[in-house]
Structure 1
Amino acid sequence: MPFIDSVTLEVADPAAATAFYDTTFGLGDELRVRGSDARTDGFRGFTLSLTVSQPANADSLFEAALAAGATALKPAAKSFWGYGGVLRAPDGTIWKIATSAKKDSGPASREVDELVLLLGVSDVGASKRFYVEHGLAVAKSFGPMYVQFDTPSSPVKLGLYRHKALAKDAGVSPDGTGSHRLVIGGDAGAFTDPDGFVWEGSPALETRLSGSPLNHAAVD
């Protein structure tokens, strides 16, 4: 089964992006950055999510990101599914920080349970078939709306969402042009999917971010 070991964000200022992510989310090699001046405008067609165990952890990460220069798209709040919010990092990447828990069970920390990449696609069924043909197995599928792939051992989880629905969930307009500014790394091979998302066999020339790996507290 294909293994997704990283996502690489292509940014205008790698040093600034590294500093932001290192001091806020503290992720390890599963999140990387590298320089790019590729044209991009509006919604880039994907979001990254940090899932955590309790609302206090979501607040801690959210507040740290805002203090470091991120912009809130949806302030952290309770909902019927749990608790969380959406923000845009200074490099333009949209992040959702969320938990299914509605109450805290311990002291706040910046411990992250999962890093999830959601790709906004024009045809969920066609993209699902494409990825299955490239070796990915489907864990959950909800008709033409959403697909979650079975990647239990991967540090990066992957799902597909309808493009407009993903933009609505993020609180932004679905309009966008130019580069996704995203490269997915793993052992599935090098290819480009039907919506223009690029996969590399082994990410290269990136700036690797320092910090603790997932399932460890990034900042005490």
Structure 2
Amino acid sequence: MVMATTASTAAHTSLASVTLEVADPEAALRFYRAFGVDTHIRLRASGAHSTGFRGFTLALTVSGPATVDGFVGAAVDAGATVLKPAAKSLWGYGGVVQAPDGTIWKIATSAKKDTGPATREIDEVVLLLGVEDVKATKQVYVDRGLTVAKSFGGKYTEFAPGRAGTVKLALYKRRALAKDLGVPVDGTGSHRIVLGSAAEAFTDQDGFVWEAAEALAPTPS
């Protein structure tokens, strides 16, 4: 297999889309619209077996604590379960919720105090993949043309986004990610998430599936 190595190819092998596999796309779409993140993800029907921790989270970075509370409240009102109530920490303020379809979402800000009113604006969306070996998985993705933006040894790696407004991809130790989210690390079956890019389809060593972005069905309207 020929790896993508040129600069022009690298620009096309970044994360282009995130598709969540759900049992009921219409119900999931209603939830994600109420939550306020429907424009950042795609949905498709799937009955794939999955138990426990699916090995990833989607994280929203927002401007301040009041905005975190607003997103958490909207998610709960739409049917989400709180895994970690929003609270202050050493790094800022945040909380964790689980959508009715099982996807875990973290909403956070580095600000510990509000400097303005709450908004419904999202500064950044990050897909955090929990992997067994961050260094090895990072190299697999670098060999396929992704560009590293930040890296902290074998603990965390963040890749440069392909274009403004797309979901950013990052790698984290699976056990550390589960602990951060407040869930047991054990899980089996499908991750129930598909990553899209312009490159050829492949599955990484942790079982995360990539498909050609043009092959992914859009979120139903």
What is the TM-score normalised by the length of structure 2? 0.90
Return the alpha-carbon distance in structure 1 between the equivalents of residues 133 and 22 of structure 2. 27
Q: Is 2:5 the partner of 1:6?
A: no
Q: Is 2:95 the partner of 1:81?
A: no
Report the secondary structure of 2:129's partner residue: strand
**Of 100, 112, 118, which aligns to 2:122?**
112
Return the alpha-carbon distance in structure 1 between the equivalents of residues 44 and 17 of structure 2. 13
Cα offset for 1:3? Answer: 3.3
Deviation per CA, 1:122-142: give whole Å up to 9, x if none: 111110110000001111111
* Correspondence for 2:28: 17
Equivalent pair of 2:19/2:42 in contact (CA under 8 Å): yes
What is the TM-score normalised by the length of structure 1? 0.91
Deviation per CA, 1:184-218: give whole Å up to 9, x if none: 112233111111101111254635166xxxxxxxx
Report the secondary structure of 1:102's partner residue: coil
* Correspondence for 2:217: 206
Pairwise CA RMSD: 1.4
Deviation per CA, 1:59-111: give whole Å up to 9, x if none: 10000001111001100001110110001000000000001111112111111
Return the alpha-carbon distance in structure 1 between the equivalents of residues 95 and 163 of structure 2. 26
Q: How does 1:114-129 map to 2 (within 5 A)?
A: 114-129=124-139
Aligned length: 209
Q: More displaced, 172-181 or 50-59?
A: 50-59
Report the secondary structure of 2:16's partner residue: strand
Q: After TM superposition, which residue ranges in structure 1, 4 or more long, deviate above 4 angstroms?
A: none
Q: Is 2:200 the partner of 1:177?
A: no
Greater helix proportion: 2
Deviation per CA, 1:119-160: give whole Å up to 9, x if none: 000111110110000001111111111111122625110100
Residues 101, 204 of structure 1: alpha-carbon distance in 2 compared, 3 angstrom cutoff: same
Return the alpha-carbon distance in structure 1 between the equivalents of residues 92 and 116 of structure 2. 16
Residues 146, 19 of structure 1: alpha-carbon distance in 2 compared, 3 angstrom cutoff: same
- Mark the runs of 5 or more structure 1 residues left unpaired by the alignment: 211-220
Return the alpha-carbon distance in structure 2 between the equivalents of residues 20 and 206 of structure 1. 19
* Correspondence for 1:216: none
* Correspondence for 1:218: none
* Correspondence for 1:148: 158
- Mark the runs of 5 or more structure 2 residues left unpaired by the alignment: 1-10
Residues 26, 176 of structure 1: alpha-carbon distance in 2 compared, 3 angstrom cutoff: closer
